Structure 1
Amino acid sequence: MNLHEYQAKTVFGSFGIPIIEGRVATTPEEARAHAEAMGGMVVVKAQVHTGGRGKAGGVKLAKDAAEAEARARDILGLDIKGHIVETILIVPASDISKEYYLSITLDRGSKRPVIIASAEGGIDIEEVAAKTPEKIFRYHLDRPGSFKSYEARLVASKLESDPKIQLRMARIVEQLVNCFWATDASLVEINPLITNPEGQVIALDAKMSVDDNALYKHPHLVAFREDSDEHAKAAREMGLSYVPLEGNVGCIVNGAGLAMATMDLIKHFGGEPA
């Protein structure tokens, strides 16, 4: 199950990770009211389960409440990689000194979780990996409870040379590891993790995916699930895994290998899997 940014931030905050509180809106008028309450510049952010929101026009800066309303009007209803924006997040604008990348995901090659860290934050990590792989640091995790403070400091040292900021980053690394294990996540990502002129380290964005098979242990996370997709809801009720695609030929399969082979055949003969 994928969480929206505002939902992932709620989870991160519960583990002590510094975040910037925002407010959710579903109409331009709500966005204006939230921006007025915050005062000053705000950022209007589309809440969809896909990356590349900024490039698609789903993240906009607004200097005041009136502009926030206009930006919200532009973003709501926007199609971002097949996802229609129905919800937006309004957050106070941040003064950024530097951006970093930090995530934990599953490394299927080693069959272990891996921390991925880079001093090149705020952009697509795949782009960094392709162009400058030496700027990405990977550190594998073993089991819950085994991660030590010195390991967190090692990861932080790959991001920042300032000792004070390193210590703050190390705490966030530890908190993110705790969050990953405690929620049965398959991905926790902060992009960007920022420092501001005051030396604070803050998770400016948040992304999170949780193993569907572990949701029975986390009713507070199940509450985040959206049932706007009727197909996905029906599949869950029948105990099936459903993957929405944009094609015109539906696939019913009983394993990942068969699924890939079936989609390859459909593509080969000019169709698009759905």
Structure 2
Amino acid sequence: FFGFFESINDYAVAEKLLNVVREYLKEKKMEVMRGPMNPSTNDECGFLIEGFDSAPTVMMTYNPEYYLEFMERYGLRKAKDFYAYLAPVTGEQITRLSRVSELVKKREPNLVVRPINLKKFAEELGKIKQIYNSAWSKNWGFVPMTDGEIESMAERLKPLVVPEILQIAEFDGKPAGFLMAVPDYNQVMKRINGKLNLSGIVKFLWYKNKIDALRLITLGVCPEYRKKGIDGLLYLESLKGAMKKGYKFCEFSWVLEENILTQ
């Protein structure tokens, strides 16, 4: 992998950067050069190829359009398409999912779906890591999440977490699945121009309560607990939380091209 690619609009500059990457990979006996991964599929990855007229949501990649020309000119080709979907948050979805959830609860009385417990955040993240490394293990580009990555994620995400939209499913008391959505804090960062000085902090605290969209980052169920309706319950409880908080829109991203069920 290569990642964190940045270049001015000058192909000669981009070519020199990519040449360094290629030579390094050759030294490491690598046969494929793939990227950008920043630094893996557990984080931001890929180039934006459509949707330049829309603002990026939190923790989603964004790049100048000329990057695409540079990559193709260098000889790189598409490996996978990642999709992002924008949907309204409505009560109609709750009505439909509620009917299904009642059937699931009757059929699976040992299934519990609940918000994350911020008072036990480290313990909860351990469960999320266990689910993640199981549920995503067969996905393209999967890299197991390490303890260090979990700790880094905890430090970055804890201030952003809204428990109502980060739901954990447990079956017989064992971690079975989770759904993580976060408010689109990019709406706030635009207001403060990315500056967290005293003025920026005041504006951040003011505008964070006016965020009207969220991003659904991950939804996964461990293989042994699939086809039990757990994903539907996770959606339902998170949707209820989103409506309670007043969010109007949700971006589902990113979704692999072969994930037909989500599409």
TM, length-normalised to structure 2: 0.30
Task: Compare relative contact order (CA 8 Å, sep 6+) and give the higher one, 1 or 2.
Answer: 2
**Normalized per residue, which structure has more strand?**
1
Larger helix fraction of residues: 2
TM-score, length of structure 1 as denominator length: 0.29
